[in-house]
């Protein structure tokens, strides 16, 4: 019987276009946050969303202003739970996960194991009910569901630190006072210079996409040889329409591969006749096989004969 993994139909990973300043700015206006957040808070949210390419309209990221325990206004930036699942599935090394519940003394524990194709052992995370259960909202009615979501998010961060390192936590991992703005008065001080105007300045759009010059195209072709198709899709997703930025990113990545000794070595062989056109190369190779001599005037450069020793005895 075939392994179930062999029967799994894997969807083609699609490159996600970078989220633009305009998209995030439109979100802040549409949801009333442009007037609710200070300019500094708006910029903080925009930069975090761009850094991890998270679209707020898809609920991949959102923010909640609140007052911390010291009575100071602060901003919680939160990642949607499904974002962790989608990002993990986009990684070519992702191979699924499992969760299970157990008892540790008098405490309920949820264990999540994340499997990677490039590792022998799964990455494991254990989270305990008494460390997260607030006894309020969904923690009161669905504590096991909430604990499982925390275990999954924690395990995914450990399994894919490059993809999730620094990404904001999910709502389930944060104290309730950091995710419920209606519980306290979080209105900004209208006398503060940070308080936004009633008509906030529009957020500048991301630079328009540009086409690569012939020189940039040749440079990109040369750099592509050092990367896998999956890696190239990643570069395209982050720098589509920005050939200069893509060249810079790929050049740095190639240097890193070279230093780490992981640079691909399957580059095509050099042309036997680099000075000749494809038609000339084909003709020269044919003549060489037949053991004939051919001068420059018949086929093209170079001026020297096809066989440098010009010896007919070798080809009788």
Q: Does 139 share its domain with 180?
A: no
In a domain, 6, yes or no: no
Q: Does 74 share its domain with 189?
A: yes
What's the token pair of residue 147?
A: 């604990």
Is the pLDDT score of 197 beyond 70? no
Q: Does 42 share its domain with 178?
A: yes
Tens-digit pLDDT profile for residues 281-301: 777 777 777 765 544 445 555
Residue indicated by tokens 């001026």:
303
Q: Which of 38-42, 159-163, 191-195, 284-288 has the lowest mean pLDDT?
A: 191-195
Kindly report the average pLDDT of the chain as a whole number: 75
The band of 200, judged by pLDDT with boundaries at 50, 70 and 90, is very low
Is the pLDDT score of 184 beyond 50? no
Q: Does 32 share its domain with 145?
A: no
Is the pLDDT score of 305 beyond 60? no
Reading phi first (left if > 0) and then psi (alpha if -120 to 50, else beta), residue 71 is in left
Q: What are phi and psi of 291, to 5 degrees?
A: 75, 30
Domains of the chain: total? 4
In a domain, 121, yes or no: yes
In a domain, 75, yes or no: yes
Q: Does 76 share its domain with 178?
A: yes
In a domain, 1, yes or no: no
Helix (H) or strand (E) holding 259: helix 243-260
* 303: containing domain: 278-315
Query: Percentage of residues in the chain with pLDDT exceeding 70?
Result: 69
Is the pLDDT score of 17 beyond 80? no
| CA 133 to centroid of chain Cα atoms | 32
In a domain, 3, yes or no: no
Q: Does 55 share its domain with 73?
A: yes
In a domain, 254, yes or no: yes
- Read off the pTM: 0.52
In a domain, 2, yes or no: no
Q: Does 174 share its domain with 67?
A: yes
Q: Does 193 share its domain with 50?
A: yes
In a domain, 5, yes or no: no
CA distances from 149 to 106, 114, 179, 205 (A): 21, 13, 16, 35
CA–CA gap between residue 106 and residue 117 (Å, rounded): 36
Average pLDDT score over residue span 211-224: 83
């Amino acid at each position: 019987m075939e392994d179930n993994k062999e029967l799994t139909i894997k969807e083609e990973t699609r490159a996600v276009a970078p989220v633009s300043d305009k998209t995030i700015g439109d979100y802040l206006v549409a949801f009333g946050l442009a007037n609710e957040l200070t300019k500094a808070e708006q910029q903080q949210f925009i930069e975090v969303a761009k850094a991890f390419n998270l679209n707020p309209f898809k609920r991949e990221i959102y923010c909640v202003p609140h007052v911390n325990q010291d009575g100071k206004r602060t901003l919680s930036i939160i990642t949607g739970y499904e974002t962790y699942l989608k990002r993990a599935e986009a990684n070519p090394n992702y191979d699924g996960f499992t969760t299970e519940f157990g008892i540790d003394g008098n405490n309920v524990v949820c264990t999540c194991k994340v499997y990677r194709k490039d590792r022998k052992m799964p990455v494991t995370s254990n989270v305990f009910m008494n460390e997260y259960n607030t006894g309020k909202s969904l923690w009161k009615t669905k504590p096991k569901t909430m604990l499982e979501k925390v275990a999954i998010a924690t395990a995914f961060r450990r399994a894919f630190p490059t993809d999730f390192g620094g990404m904001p936590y999910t709502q389930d991992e944060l104290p309730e006072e950091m995710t419920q703005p209606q519980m306290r008065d979080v209105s900004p001080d209208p006398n503060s210079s940070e308080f936004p105007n009633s008509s906030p300045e529009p957020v500048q759009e991301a630079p328009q996409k540009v086409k690569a010059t012939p020189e940039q195209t040749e440079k990109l072709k040369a750099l592509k040889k050092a990367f896998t198709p999956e890696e190239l899709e990643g570069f395209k997703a982050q720098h589509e329409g920005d050939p200069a930025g893509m060249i810079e990113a790929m050049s740095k990545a190639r240097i890193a591969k070279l230093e780490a000794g992981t640079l691909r070595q399957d580059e095509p062989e050099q042309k036997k006749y680099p000075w000749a056109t494809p038609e000339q190369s084909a003709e020269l190779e044919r003549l060489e096989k037949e053991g004939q001599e051919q001068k420059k005037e018949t086929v093209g450069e170079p001026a020297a004969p096809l066989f440098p020793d010009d010896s007919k005895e070798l080809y009788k």
